[in-house]
């Protein structure tokens, strides 16, 4: 059974701080997606990473896919209250593309 472990589970920081959250597995994935879910809403895709070692930037967010395609990290620079939410990672397996493997998420609170 493939699993994705996300850490930390909860994170509360002050506005302006930097942070990194992690998504780890012992399995290889064809691609990995990061979503953000705000209270009362569904998850919204932030990025998809496909190539081992790939780095993608989205404004203050930097995503990295591990060289072996088993793990990923999300780094936020100068966090803002608008970054508050649940960050979910989801892995796709080339053998069963229709079913994403989801992590439990990191719940981030950025305090003004």
Partner 1 sequence: ETGVTQTPRHLVMGMTNKKSLKCEQHLGHNAMYWYKQSAKKPLELMFVYSLEERVENNSVPSRFSPECPNSSHLFLHLHTLQPEDSALYLCASSPRLAVHTDTQYFGPGTRLTVL
How many residues of this chain interact with partner 1, rule: CB under 8 A? 25
Tally the C-alpha atoms within 13 A of residue 91's C-alpha that lie toward its C-beta.
28
8 Å CB contact between 9 and 23: no
Which residue among 43, 69, 87, 106 contacts partner 1 (CB under 8 A)?
43
Based on the shown chain and the rule CB under 8 A, indicate whether residue 92 belongs to the binding site for partner 1: yes
Tokens of 14: 């002050």
| For partner 1, the closer CB: 29 or 79 | 29
Q: Which residue number, 44 or 109, has a Cβ lying nearer to partner 1? A: 44
Q: How far apart are the C-alpha atoms of 87 and 36, rounded to whole Å?
A: 5
DSSP string spanning 61-88?
EEEEE-TTSSEEEEEESS--GGG-EEEE
Residue 1 engages partner 1 in binding (rule: CB under 8 A): no
Minimum CB separation of residue 22 from partner 1 in Å reads 16
- Should residue 30 be labelled a site residue for partner 1 when binding is judged by CB under 8 A? yes
Q: Binding residues for partner 1, per CB under 8 A? A: 4, 30-31, 33, 40-45, 48, 50, 88, 90, 92-94, 97-104
């Amino acid at each position: 059974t493939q699993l994705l472990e996300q850490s930390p589970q909860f994170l509360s920081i002050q506005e302006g701080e930097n942070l990194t959250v992690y998504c780890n597995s012992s399995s290889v994935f064809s691609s990995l997606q990061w979503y953000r879910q705000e209270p009362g809403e569904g998850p919204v895709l932030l990025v998809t990473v496909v190539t081992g070692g790939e780095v993608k930037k989205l404004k203050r967010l930097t995503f990295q896919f591990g060289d072996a395609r088993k793990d990923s990290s999300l780094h936020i620079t100068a966090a803002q209250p608008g970054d508050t939410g649940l960050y979910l990672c989801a892995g796709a397996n080339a053998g069963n593309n229709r079913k994403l493997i989801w992590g439990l998420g990191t719940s981030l609170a950025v305090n003004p």
